[in-house]
Structure 1
């Protein structure tokens, strides 16, 4: 069975119920496809994140435990790795400098 590499939640949910093994294979193909289509400088990091997710899922005894572990992993990733990058990037400097160069504007009142 040839599978399209296009995500559809409804199709994935149906496949997961009807054929869990086929769903897992399709999920892996989708993830690999998305990683391969990403910016080459991000691919190694994305593969590492996916590896951590896969290991957390594999170690979990129940689907709920898996969900909670992956959630905790993503929150740790966001707060430990993503926010420091965002806080130190040029976007912050740009926003701060643009606030310093603010020009005054006339405020127009609208009738009640």
Structure 2
């Protein structure tokens, strides 16, 4: 069962007054998201979370962490977009070939003497 994210003012208060509780909440929600995903995706999601955690712990500046994670996300979206375009083009070409082969009619030429 998915846990709801508290509203912004509660999150701000947690960040200010109890950062450890905010971190526990983050960990719980990440675990819940991974557990709710199909089993075949768990390993990939855990690997991705490992990369995210490594970036979060290796960079001092919150802004720099945000920049790196945003770049990571944009790169992932670019790969997804590229793959979707490739599949769409492949599907379009197959449909075009199918339409051409089913609708083409060869007409015989008759010679006149």
Q: Scaled by the length of structure 1, what TM-score is found?
A: 0.68
Specify every segment of 5 or more residues in structure 1 that has no aligned partner in the other structure, as ranges.
102-112
Structure number with higher relative contact order (C-alpha < 8 Å, ≥ 6 residues apart): 2
Q: How many residues align?
A: 96
More displaced 10-residue stretch of structure 1: 17-26 or 84-93: 84-93
Distance 2:87 2:7 in 1: 34
Specify every segment of 5 or more residues in structure 2 that has no aligned partner in the other structure, as ranges.
100-113
CA RMSD of aligned residues (A): 2.9
Structure 1 residue runs of 4 or more that deviate by more than 6 Å after TM superposition: none
Q: Scaled by the length of structure 2, what TM-score is found?
A: 0.67
* Aligned counterpart for 2:81 among listed residues 63, 80, 83: 83
Distance 1:91 1:28 in 2: 40
Q: How does 1:33-112 map to 2 (within 5 A)?
A: 33-80=32-79, 82-89=80-87, 93=91, 97=95
Higher helix share: 2
Greater Rg over alpha carbons, structure: 2
Kindly state the Cα deviation for residue 74 of structure 1 after the two structures are TM-superposed.
1.2
